Chains A and B, each alone.
Chain A
């Protein structure tokens, strides 16, 4: 432990303007070959910290403190000095592989450019050869062919690998991965985390991982720095942190993280009331049979987003629909409520056919169900007050007594009735999602489609919103199609679970069976890839997954 740190941040303070203190006295050290994770919720200052190490903050930011990379103080450097550090000493991988690569150039050109920027005497041919080597190093097969491809021809996971290849092109001493796996599916995330671990072993780099995901932390980190409101609240080894969290905030954070465990299902008194056989007896809330949805693709060709999916949701039942991005799970949700027309197959809502319904009939059916979207920022009209947003379903369906109802709805989602006069942009993400839920239950629906309702929220907020959602479901007894990519969340809310992969329903069954004893390979891989917030258990799961 006498080795000098590769990256040392001492008493870093960053302020924007006079009032906003983004980072307040943060000190972090990363030694060569060590992986340190910085965790925190949005607004905790973790990304600002990582940006400041490369001098990438906007000019309005006031920075004080010391940032040393291999003993050199970065904060004292000017433009040319910073450029020499960037890439060569410290490299960074960003969250969005979609936008971080230039769509106008081939992958090979971009990797070669990164090389030639730092090795001025490297020939073009040599740079391309080295680029191919780098792509192989980050686990891209058929690297020579990939060099000639454009970013849009690659999947998200491959793009993130290319970003990592560019980052390690000049063999930096420090690699910063800023939410580098957040936009990826769990199976891909697991692969990228494996890659980072391999690179650390091969190149002996110091890696700083910025993340909000406690599962990722448990999976990859040696040491963890917990940030909250610009301050470091706790620093510990990963085992200590998860086993014996010291700070109050860390403890709260850890209890908020949903876990994929057998006993984690909500305790419900009424579960006894609704044995599987009983649910099937009544009219199902939603019955999809052989549903096919097609979108127009390139040059008139048709892309099947949903391929012969059959699914039934009994009255009052919560069915979790899981799948990775592009699996068609959201499309199923939107088709179920009539926002998308299926190419073939049928949708029966509450015992009536939705597929043929038009005009008044369709509207009458829709009155009895509702939908909660992922992004509360875009599902509320920015030009309407909160009160108007919630009252909208009441206005549409000509229900009087709106003032009292809106107040009651706000109360039932645990918001103060005074927020009704405010506009959505003035509220936090969690508050906005509560309003989305209040709007969804305004007509006392029999079926609610919840499309990733908590994915855009921080874990502690997610916990309260999920709590609220479940409480309402218990009280109002609506059936629910709960769409999510997060297995732990599904384990928490669903009675039954359905798994989708590239448009098809892979597996469907009771929660315990699908999540803990899956029949299909795909489900098994999916479950094994989801990182759990427990370092010891995660190590075991990793070994298990790699043997799959």
Chain B
């Protein structure tokens, strides 16, 4: 062997360290669609949670004298509903419920699904078979049906809604993460860790899940969007949170009764709000996918 081969020692390079996560953040912010989604979501969150401080309204008591006022009346920029509550204020309060349930339920579903899928895919064998048959069985039952049944059994509150939606929608992320785990578990770095005497738990939580994070995060945004839609469905069917609390789905449901009276301001604001928030999450998801998937970059 020779000694003439140069530079065995790597010079310390002052270049900034760019980790995989930081690189993703940079790519994410370079994506116009993703940033649009993020800005939109930030505005909606501000509107729902800070808005009531700027535009305080009474959403508890009814004011039948002011019922069904058209938009533009002083103090009611978006009019009032059938019992005289301010629609703009109600949109903010209802939005709080929708966003709280949607985000919490989406995250819960992602959490359960990720752990379930990673464990199933990593373990393999009969445990994987049983765990995935559970998922198949769950997918075979329509989520909406489960939601409606459970809504008649438990009194719908924000907490129960989060738990129920979270527990019926973790199936898709579980499948996605399992597929990733299947290919990751045979990779050399997992094998190397096993050979060092590492535990299975370390393999799942330190290697499999971090490397599946792209799939997980992208799917989480779609989960949140879906959860918001599910809440809206359930409320629209009259099984949402109990009045006087409300959400956007319940507002829509309420407004539908007045379609023939031309009270459009009872339908459009809530409908548009749902569309905006779902689009915002989808844009963020697309942007994230682009920044995680190196192969799709630049398209």
Contact = CB atoms under 8 A, between A and B. Distances in A.
Interface string B170-198: 00000000000000000111011111111
Given A371-B192, A379-B189, A418 B12 contact: yes
Given A256-B5, A396-B197, 14 more contacts: A252-B4, A379-B191, A381-B189, A381-B211, A396-B193, A396-B202, A416-B11, A419-B10, A419-B12, A463-B5, A464-B5, A466-B1, A468-B8, A492-B1
Given A255-B2, A416-B10, A416-B12, A443 B195 contact: no
B90 to A, nearest CB: 45
B196 A367 contact: yes
Contact of B17 (A363, A421, A492): A421
A396 to B, nearest CB: 5
A423 B18 CA distance: 8
B188 A373 contact: yes
Instruction: Identify which of B12, B197, B202 gathers the most chain A CB atoms within 10 Å of its CB.
Output: B197
Contacts of A266: 1
A96 interface: no
User: Which are the 9 A-B pairs with shortest beta-carbon distances?
Assistant: A379-B188, A363-B197, A366-B197, A418-B12, A393-B196, A255-B2, A373-B188, A414-B8, A381-B189
B198 A255 contact: no
A369 to B, nearest CB: 8
B210 interface: yes
A423 B17 contact: yes
A334 B10 CA distance: 31
A25 interface: no
A414 B191 CA distance: 25
B19 interface: yes
A416 B13 CA distance: 10
B54 interface: no
Interface of A: 251-252, 255-256, 258, 266, 334, 337-339, 362-364, 366-367, 369-371, 373, 375, 378-385, 389, 392-393, 396-397, 414-416, 418-419, 421-423, 425-426, 431, 436, 439, 443, 460, 463-464, 466-468, 470, 492
A269 to B, nearest CB: 16
A424 to B, nearest CB: 9
Interface residues of B, number: 34
B197 A414 contact: no
Nearest to B196: A393
Contacts of A381: 189, 206-207, 210-211
B10 A431 contact: yes
Interface in B1-56: 1-2, 4-6, 8-13, 17-21
A57 B262 CA distance: 63
B194 A415 contact: no
A415 B8 CA distance: 8
Interface of B: 1-2, 4-6, 8-13, 17-21, 187-189, 191-199, 202, 206-207, 210-211, 213
Contacts of B211: 381-383
Contact of A373 (B4, B9, B21, B192): B192
Nearest to B202: A396
A246 to B, nearest CB: 16
A302 B20 CA distance: 42
Contacts of B193: 392, 396
Nearest to B189: A381
B17 A378 contact: no
Contacts of B198: 392, 396
A371 to B, nearest CB: 5
A439 B5 contact: no
A384 B206 CA distance: 9
Contacts of B13: 418
A443 B192 contact: no
9 contacts: A339-B191, A379-B188, A379-B191, A383-B213, A393-B196, A460-B5, A463-B1, A466-B1, A470-B1
Contacts of B6: 252
Nearest to A449: B195
B32 to A, nearest CB: 22
A389 B207 CA distance: 11
Nearest to A266: B1
A338 B192 CA distance: 11
Nearest to A337: B195
A385 B8 contact: no
Contacts of A425: 20
B198 to A, nearest CB: 5
Nearest to B210: A383
A364 B197 contact: yes
Contact of A383 (B5, B20, B195, B199): B20
A396 B9 CA distance: 28
Nearest to A423: B19
B11 A366 contact: no
Contacts of B19: 385, 423
Contacts of A255: 2, 4-5
A495 B17 CA distance: 42
B191 A252 contact: no
Contact of B197 (A384, A397, A422, A426): A397
Given A396-B197, A416-B10, A492-B1, A380 B189 contact: yes
A255 B1 CA distance: 8
A42 to B, nearest CB: 16
A381 B96 CA distance: 40
A251 B20 CA distance: 39
Nearest to A471: B1
Contacts of A370: 195-196
A383 B20 CA distance: 6
Given A423-B17, A423-B20, A426-B18, A463 B196 contact: no
A376 to B, nearest CB: 9
A415 B9 contact: yes
Contacts of B20: 382-383, 423, 425
A373 B1 CA distance: 22
Contacts of B2: 252, 255-256, 463
A363 B199 CA distance: 9
Nearest to B6: A252
A276 to B, nearest CB: 24
Contacts of A363: 197, 199
A251 B194 CA distance: 42
A384 to B, nearest CB: 8
Contacts of B210: 381, 383-384
Nearest to A254: B2
A8 to B, nearest CB: 34
A159 B147 CA distance: 57
Nearest to B22: A423
A12 B13 CA distance: 33
A470 B193 CA distance: 24
Instruction: Identify which of B206, B211, B213 gathers the most chain A CB atoms within 10 Å of its CB.
Output: B206
Contacts of B196: 366-367, 370, 392-393, 396-397, 439, 443
A16 to B, nearest CB: 14
